[in-house]
Amino acid sequence: MAGGIGTRFWPLSRIAKPKQFLDILGIGKSLLRITFDRFATICPLENIFVVSSSKYAGIVSEQLPEMHKDNILLEPFRRNTAPCIAYASYKIMKINPNAKIVVTPSDHLILNLEMFQNTILKGLEFVSQNPYLLTIGIHPNRPETGFGYIQVKNKKSKDNQDVMYLSPVATFTEKPDINLAMTFLESGDFYWNSGVFMWSLNSLINGMKEHLSDIDQLFVNIFDKLNTHEEEECINKAYTECRNISIDYGLMEKSDNVWVICADFGWSDLGTWGAMFDNTQKDANNNCLIGNNVLAYDTSDCVINLPGNKVAVIQGLKNYIVVESDQIMLICDKNEEQRIRQFVNDVLMKYGEDFV
């Protein structure tokens, strides 16, 4: 899934080129490219599909030149993850009605690739043998308020050494406050919801028919047109009638056959500058510095991301975000980064779309 706009990474992430297409980590690869490479060694190229906005068609093709154009699915409007997944699933059904599917966002950080791939393979084996909807849960290491949480029904026993632990899901909780997050952390039976899902095509379609029947019917109606020259026209019409809803809320939270595979492979959704700070190298003063010409004095615990051709001298900051991109500068207290969405909206209202 590569259709989001990454508002919380503004001003680096913009509507014209969101964060999944950027080299956020400064390693010479976009997050989309990293995600593609992550699966390319365990999945045939022809079995990888990217769903994105039609406005990003050129960027996707440029960054993934080896992908066949038929495997790049373009949405005319952003309608959240449920329609995105339905589109891809019915497209895949025409090719292989017995498919087993992994759904992943295109902007996550995975530090332990081998453990991640082993988790995926174990999960696919599980859904091949059981009619369940499977999500990956991440063992929490802090009371994070920006993630969703999954409660397991069967709490892992102390003598269970399985690093990839399977359990039915008891509840989902979206972005708790700090007190509840601390309670979740201490309980030992809550995991972060990674947003990575696995299921058989049959299990998914059955679930959608029960809980997302209106969306399912839109794609049933155009099924015969998929993988033909009429697909684009039909998709454009279907999306005008399609509501905006996430797969988590529309399906996972309402189904009684949801399981979780709990793992720990160094995961972050890289949803915010703070998440990037937590998962990147720091200098001697605990600053995350991206930019070739930054001199920081009496400055600590900051995220500083500046163009390589700019010289910056920064003195006396602690726990701040400093980002410059295309004539826009953001200077924001790292503890207040949840306000970036508000900042973006204010910039849009006052200065127009060119700056968001």
The pLDDT score that the predictor gives to residue 235 is 97
Average pLDDT over the chain, rounded to whole? 93
| Weakest mean pLDDT among 245-254, 268-277, 334-343 | 268-277
CATH top class, domain 7-271: alpha beta
The pLDDT score that the predictor gives to residue 281 is 87
Q: Are 19 and 273 in contact (CB under 8 A)?
A: no
Give domain limits for the chain.
Answer: 7-271, 281-355
The pLDDT score that the predictor gives to residue 302 is 97
Instruction: Render pLDDT for 178-187 as a digit per residue (tens, 0 to 9).
Output: 999 999 999 8
Instruction: Render pLDDT for 14-52 as a digit per residue (tens, 0 to 9).
Output: 999 999 999 888 788 999 999 999 999 999 999 999 999
What mean pLDDT do residues 268-275 have?
85
The pLDDT score that the predictor gives to residue 146 is 81
The pLDDT score that the predictor gives to residue 160 is 57
Helix (H, G, I), strand (E, B) or coil at 197: strand
Q: What is the pTM of this model?
A: 0.90
Report residue 284 CA to chain centroid gap: 31
The pLDDT score that the predictor gives to residue 26 is 76
What mean pLDDT do residues 286-307 have?
92
Taking the C-alpha atoms of residue 57 and residue 73, their distance in angstroms, rounded to an integer, is 9
The pLDDT score that the predictor gives to residue 163 is 65
The pLDDT score that the predictor gives to residue 75 is 97
Q: Which residue has the higher pLDDT, 292 or 56?
A: 56
The pLDDT score that the predictor gives to residue 145 is 82
The pLDDT score that the predictor gives to residue 159 is 55
Tokens representing 205?
Answer: 């379609």
Show the DSSP H helices in 229-288 as ranges: 231-240, 247, 273-278
What mean pLDDT do residues 265-285 have?
88
Tokens representing 25?
Answer: 């980590």
- Asked if residue 162 has pLDDT above 90, the reply is no
The pLDDT score that the predictor gives to residue 291 is 79
When pLDDT is cut at 50, 70 and 90, the band that residue 158 belongs to is: low
The pLDDT score that the predictor gives to residue 155 is 76
Show the DSSP H helices in the chain as ranges: 31-40, 57-63, 81-95, 113-129, 178-187, 201-211, 213-221, 231-240, 247, 273-278, 340-351
14-20: which pairs have CB atoms within 8 A and are 24 or more residues apart? 14/325, 14/326, 14/356, 15/353, 15/356, 17/59, 18/56, 19/107, 19/270, 20/106, 20/107
What is the length of the chain? 356
When pLDDT is cut at 50, 70 and 90, the band that residue 112 belongs to is: very high
What mean pLDDT do residues 341-353 have?
95
Portion of the chain with pLDDT greater than 70, in percent: 98
What mean pLDDT do residues 127-136 have?
97
Instruction: Render pLDDT for 137-155 as a digit per residue (tens, 0 to 9).
Output: 999 988 888 889 999 998 7
Tokens representing 116?
Answer: 């991640």
Instruction: Render pLDDT for 257-269 as a digit per residue (tens, 0 to 9).
Output: 999 999 999 898 8
The pLDDT score that the predictor gives to residue 200 is 98
